[in-house]
Amino acid sequence: MQTMQKTVSTRRVGSQTFVCPHGSVSRKVVARQARAASRKAQVVRAQAVSTETAQKPAATATPAVAGIDLAGDTAKTVLGIILGGGAGTRLYPLTKKRAKPAVPLGANYRLIDIPVSNCLNSNITKIYCLTQFNSASLNRHLSQAYNSSVGGYNTRGFVEVLAASQSSANKSWFQGTADAVRQYMWLFEEAVRDGVEDFLILSGDHLYRMDYRDFVRKHRETGAAITIAALPCAEKEASAFGLMKIDQSGRVVDFAEKPKGDALAAMKVDTTILGCDAETAKAKPFIASMGIYVMSAKALRELLLNRMPNANDFGNEVIPGAKDAGFKVQAHVFKGYWEDIGTVEAFYNANLALADPSKAQFSFYDKDAPIYTMSRFLPPSKVLDAEVSMSIIGDGCVIKAGSKVSNSIIGIRSLIGSDCIIDSAMMMGADYYETLEECEYVPGCLPMGVGDGSIVRRAIVDKNARIGPNCQIINKDGVKEANREDQGFVIKDGIVVVIKDSCIPAGTII
């Protein structure tokens, strides 16, 4: 009797792999199941934002569908929105000629690479970055770094900048984070028609590594309209964040944006509810919002366009307003490293910590969740009889003989002359290599980089800066704040920041 051989094929839907013993017929059945599950989830979300069901938690729960992981196919159902921030005054002068997300980070990267890489590692390939100021370099970086590899004939992925613009319907610039999203809601609704169910709203000035799939899964399992990423924090830093109180299920019952005094004390909670041990809970008795949200598409549209059409900020207005209106606002605990690097001091400390094994809590060397950036095809760095310790050297650098580099970040294409001392400093490098002919156009033919015999200590040297020979960038008088833009530098939090494209003449002492 002849044995019939059955052809076995597999089909991946979400995070589940289905074995189909009957070929294309079963594949079509599974595809229909996936589409039906997605439509069912959208119907439930629409019900959750209505006035009648917003008060009824039981009606907002997304039903479990056997064999289908609703959080699996994030590439189709989640849209990433990165908020690039405003003028970036806290990071000035690093934001003088660029948007905040375009500020260089860790020798080879830019701030925007962190949230974009987290999205790509979480299989979120539809990403917009909203900016308002100096977005040219950011746009160039994103288009060169990601779009050729993210988008494709079948994937339909993209990483794009959406700059503030005026139209006949809206003649004002972005007034805040919520207003920025509202002004582009017409574009985001096109994505909803293509299958997007949730918006992942991120900040462009945080340093962390996070798998957003767990975040989205928690959001859908709880049937929340809004889910906020949260972490425990200490009292000395709590007043800089939005703080929450949650019940045993993780639902947010109280919210205060950057409280102080008695209002701050009133937000103190037992953070063992987040899984902290007793010692950590005592040291960190507050639950801080990370400024990272998942919002159902239906709820976001209802809040921004109907319930709060004049609200400008998510943290101050939309989140508390949603809770007060009866929408289910849930907290999702994040237990990894996270740092807000929105100030010059925080930015400086976070970068230098990357090079110190005793302080480093973030690494660029994770093979399972890499941080991506632009492919520059630069040559290896060259160190000529110099001493380098506890430092990160970017691509294409040259460090000449006799120089000492310690506890520093040296960015791409940096040139450090002979007998220099670079100590506890961040050099951002250069945008291009300079020829002798190009250098002749600069007064005194001062090349980019640090000249022979110069000392740079506790400072940030922005891109394309020219520091002449025998200079001392050391904050000699211990000044905390000073604006010397006409001389090419600013001092913030005691850190000297040499401004991009500036020239510091030979022999200068700062």
pLDDT in tens, 24-45: 434 444 444 544 554 454 444 4
- Rounded Cα distance between 132 and 173, Å, is 8
| 386 and 311 within one domain | no
For residue 157, the model assigns a pLDDT of 84
Residue 170, domain member (yes or no): yes
Grouping H, G, I as helix, E, B as strand and the rest as coil, residue 251 is: strand
Nearest CA among 92, 103, 99 for reference residue 463: 103
pTM confidence score:
0.82
Kindly state whether residues 464 and 397 are assigned to the same domain.
yes
Q: DSSP state, 453?
A: T
Judgement on whether residues 394 and 469 belong to the same structural domain of the protein: yes
5 pLDDT more than 60: no
Q: How confident is the model at residue 14 (pLDDT cuts 50, 70, 90)?
A: very low
Rounded mean pLDDT of 122-145? 86
Structural domain includes residue 151? yes
pLDDT at 400 over 50: yes
| Section 13-32 average pLDDT | 41
Decide if pLDDT at 23 tops 60.
Answer: no
pLDDT band at 82 (very low <50, low <70, confident <90, very high): very high
Residue bearing the bigger pLDDT, 414 or 259 = 414
Same domain for 158 and 204? Answer: yes
Per-residue model confidence (pLDDT) at position 213: 94
Q: Is the pLDDT of residue 159 over 50?
A: yes
36 lies in the same domain as 81: no
Q: Closest Cα partner for 406 from 456, 369, 363?
A: 456
Q: Is residue 364 part of a domain?
A: no
What is the extent of the structural domain holding 23?
A: 9-60
Is residue 166 very low, low, confident or very high in pLDDT (cuts 50, 70, 90)?
low
Q: What angle do CA 157, 160, 163 make, to 5 degrees?
A: 155
Q: What is the pLDDT of residue 444?
A: 79
Find the angle CA(303)-CA(308)-CA(310) to the nearest 5 degrees: 135
Q: Residue 165's pLDDT is what?
A: 65
Residue 369 lies in a domain: no
Q: What is the mean pLDDT of residues 277-301?
A: 91
Please, which residues have CB within 8 angstroms of residue 281's CB and are 6 or more apart in sequence?
232, 270, 271, 272
Q: Is 184 found in the same domain as 288?
A: yes
Quote helix, strand, coil % in the chain, to nearest 5. Answer: 30, 25, 45
Q: How confident is the model at residue 352 (pLDDT cuts 50, 70, 90)?
A: very high
> pLDDT confidence of 216, banded at 50, 70, 90?
very high
Which pLDDT does position 422 carry in this prediction? 98
Q: Is 391 part of any domain?
A: yes
Is the pLDDT at 167 greater than 70? The verdict is no
Say if 221 falls within a structural domain: yes
pLDDT band at 154 (very low <50, low <70, confident <90, very high): low
Identify the weakest region by mean pLDDT among 71-80, 95-104, 413-422, 430-439: 71-80
Q: In this predicted structure, which of 20-24, 206-210, 242-246, 341-345 has the lowest mean pLDDT?
A: 20-24
Residue 8 tokens, joined: 């076995």
pLDDT digits over 325-335, tens only? Answer: 999 999 998 98
Tell whether 404 and 437 lie within a shared domain: yes
Residues 160 and 238 in one domain: yes
Question: Which helix (H) or strand (E) covers residue 286, if one does?
Answer: strand 286-296
Measured over all CA atoms, what is the biggest interatomic distance in the chain, rounded to whole angstroms? Answer: 97
CATH code of the domain in which 222 resides = 3.90.550.10
My answer on whether 290 and 422 are in the same domain is no
Last residue of a domain, one of 334, 353, 372: 353
Q: Is residue 4 part of a domain?
A: no
Which of 353, 373, 404 is at the close of a domain?
A: 353
Which tops the pLDDT comparison, 391 or 177?
391
Length of the chain (residues): 510
Same domain? 89 vs 232: yes
Question: In angstroms, how far is CA 355 from the centroid of its own chain?
Answer: 20
Q: pLDDT value at position 12?
A: 42
What is the pLDDT of the chain when averaged over all its residues? 83
Residues 157 and 218 both lie in one domain: yes
Could you please report the per-residue DSSP string of 26-39? Answer: HHHHHHHHHHHHHH
Q: No. of H helices and E strands in the chain?
A: 15, 31
Query: Is 68 a member of any domain?
Result: no
The DSSP code for 509 is: B
155 and 267 within one domain: yes
Q: Can you tell me the mean pLDDT for 174-179? A: 82
- How many domains are there within the chain? 3
For residue 433, give the amino acid letter: Y
Query: What is the per-residue pLDDT across 420-468, written as a single tens digit (0 to 9) for each?
Result: 999 999 999 999 998 888 888 887 789 999 999 999 999 999 999 999 9
Query: 413, 465 in Cβ contact below 8 A?
Result: no
Q: Is the pLDDT reported for residue 48 higher than 70?
A: no
Q: What is the 3-state secondary structure (H, E, C) of 177-234?
A: HHHHHHHCHHHHHHHHHCCCCEEEEEECCEEECCCHHHHHHHHHHCCCCEEEEEEEEC
User: Which CATH number covers residue 423?
Assistant: 2.160.10.10
